[in-house]
Chains A and B, each alone.
Chain A
Amino acid sequence: MQTYDLAADGLRGLNATLQAQSDETNQTEWTIVNPRGSHAIAVGLDAPIEVKVMGSTGYYCAGMNKQATVHVHGSAGPGVAENMMSGTVVIDGDASQYAGATGHGGTLVIKGNASSRCGISMKGIDIVVHGNVGHMSAFMAQSGNLVVCGDAGDALGDSIYEARLFVRGSVKSLGADCIEKEMRPEHIELLRDLLARGGCDAKPEEFKRYGSARQLYNFKVDNAY
């Protein structure tokens, strides 16, 4: 296992070192100590490595991730796992605003709460939040799954396209064009897998599903130019 002291050796060195790992690297386990809320920790990774961050992080941790597993043993600042392509990011604590924004793939697990705009413009990422999500979560979500084991804040799924939203607790309000939808057997199965991958023991039957009513501008053929 490799250990990197961020306080001693700096952020550029860390990201350059992690980004230099190839698909065949033998250095598959990394531990980052002294993150101290730094920005942009472990961004742009593209190798099947495991990175543990021993503390809380600032803006944009694990952004643009491919293949790698990044596990934050603390809380994450704004924009964690932004634009993730594949791989897994796990946050033991809370995540600040726009967690998993624009993510194309991979899995983001937040064991605490996520704040506002979680999964904004998500494009295929799976996000599992053990706690609550704040307002405007899944705003303009296009594809992928957002699972919320707690409650959702105001305007969930505003202007949503084709993502699926599963919420176990209450939803303070639904955004424009977002509606509750039927939970069919295939959704139960999908959710069972998502919960297992997120390390969550909630029962899929306890959730409600929300998605697009497909009534907004883009979906109406009559609105075409």
Chain B
Amino acid sequence: MCGIVGLFLKDKSLEPQLGALLTDMLITMTDRGPDSAGIAIYGDPSPTTSKVTVQSENPDRDFADLAEKVQPLVGGPVSLSRRDTHAVLHVPHGTAEALRRQLKDVASDVRVMSFGDSLEIYKEVGLPRDVAARFDIASMTGTHGIGHTRMATESAVTTLGAHPFNTGSDQCLVHNGSLSNHNSLRRKLRREGIHIETLNDTEVAAAYLTWKMQTGATLGEALEKSLEDLDGFFNFVVGTRDGFGVVRDPIACKPAVMAETDQYVAFGSEYRALVNLPGIEQARVWEPEPATVYFWTHGDTATPTGKAA
């Protein structure tokens, strides 16, 4: 069991409340996942800088001179904004992906949580309420975000085993379920040169999507293919810089509820995660169909796109 929440805003006036709304949803899902919690939040992209979110067990020591250490690697100015055990490195635009691979050479104890232009990921072991408080998620603004509360089954309760997982620039994935072919798929993906950090099943799903997209698939196509190649139970909620997607396995025994109004699209493992959203009484509420890809992007018409490419 795990809990998933997601909120994709259509109405810009809600953006200052994104963190607060997601925090409330996340804490409601504590019973489904008290081991650890995490959140991916999209906001504030800059045309001149990209972001690398990093984590350290010893942030006082590791973050003190991290910006100076990183500067030569990216060849430009670097600023660091810290939140508890995490920090966002603002680096020259387009240098984030290379830095992700090089960072361990200059700061071996610092771990990369995410990279991209808009995405930041914060995740730690502990109750969702405590995790949300230490990062002050309630104060965050943004266009969309995805949260996860974890009850671990397939790998240890660690920071790196927590969700969301970063799957590529500005891409993230959370998972409720368990995959049964993740070991063989991990070996296959590593042979293809895909970097996989942990023994966690969800990271394999994330890496699978990255691999599919590196070989030319859109996110929608990659999600479609995941229905064929991943064996097990899954509800995935994925984020991209402009979009928000949902897919459930064909058996669909993991719960999912969605709600849509003129102001937002929301996902919850259970309806009670959604009850404090503004206007929920008037929202269209439905259960996403099994083996069907749903995807929303900013700027498009706000209708679910079953079997979207």
Contact = CB atoms under 8 A, between A and B. Distances in A.
Interface of A: 36-38, 56-59, 75, 77-78, 93-94, 96-97, 115-116, 134-135
29 contacts: A37-B270, A37-B273, A37-B274, A37-B275, A38-B272, A56-B271, A56-B285, A57-B271, A58-B270, A58-B271, A58-B272, A75-B285, A77-B255, A77-B257, A77-B270, A78-B255, A93-B285, A94-B285, A94-B286, A96-B257, A96-B287, A97-B253, A115-B287, A116-B251, A116-B253, A116-B290, A134-B289, A134-B290, A135-B252
Q: What interface size band does chain B fall in? A: 10 to 19
Contacts of B287: 94, 96, 115
Grouping DSSP codes into helix (H, G, I), strand (E, B) and loop, the A interface class, with mixed when no group exceeds half, is loop
A206 to B, nearest CB: 25
B234 to A, nearest CB: 15
A42 B285 CA distance: 23
A38 B270 CA distance: 9
Nearest to B288: A115
Nearest to A98: B253
Interface string B287-302: 1011000000000000
A38 B275 CA distance: 10
B285 A135 contact: no
Interface-centre pick from B252, B270, B287 (highest chain A CB count, 10 A):
B287
Contacts of B285: 56, 75, 93-94
B275 A36 contact: yes
B255 A97 contact: yes
Among all A-B residue pairs, the 6 with the closest Cβ atoms:
A37-B272, A37-B271, A36-B275, A115-B287, A56-B271, A58-B272
Contacts of B252: 97, 115-116, 134-135
Given A38-B272, A97-B253, A134-B252, 19 more contacts: A36-B275, A37-B270, A37-B273, A37-B275, A57-B271, A75-B285, A77-B255, A77-B257, A77-B270, A77-B271, A78-B255, A93-B285, A94-B285, A94-B286, A97-B255, A115-B287, A116-B252, A116-B253, A116-B290
A77 B257 CA distance: 9
A116 B251 CA distance: 8
Given A56-B285, A116-B252, A135 B270 contact: no
Contacts of B257: 77, 96
Contacts of B290: 116, 134-135
B253 A36 contact: no
Contacts of A96: 255, 257, 287
A195 to B, nearest CB: 25
Interface in B240-288: 250-253, 255, 257, 270-275, 285-287
A75 B271 contact: yes
A64 B55 CA distance: 48
Contacts of B274: 37
A36 B252 CA distance: 23
A93 B284 CA distance: 11
Contacts of B251: 116
A85 B257 CA distance: 28
Contacts of B273: 37
Contacts of A57: 271
B212 to A, nearest CB: 26
Nearest to B31: A39
Contacts of A135: 250, 252, 290
A151 B272 CA distance: 28
A93 B287 CA distance: 12
Interface-centre pick from B251, B255, B272, B289 (highest chain A CB count, 10 A):
B272
B149 to A, nearest CB: 16
B194 to A, nearest CB: 33
Contacts of B286: 94
A75 B88 CA distance: 42
B73 to A, nearest CB: 48
B108 to A, nearest CB: 46
Nearest to A115: B287
A116 B252 CA distance: 8
Contacts of B275: 36-37
Interface in B63-121: none
Contacts of A134: 252, 289-290
Contacts of A37: 270-275
B289 to A, nearest CB: 8
Contacts of B255: 77-78, 96-97
A167 B288 CA distance: 22
A140 B270 CA distance: 27
Contacts of A115: 252, 287
Nearest to B252: A116
Contacts of B270: 37, 58-59, 77
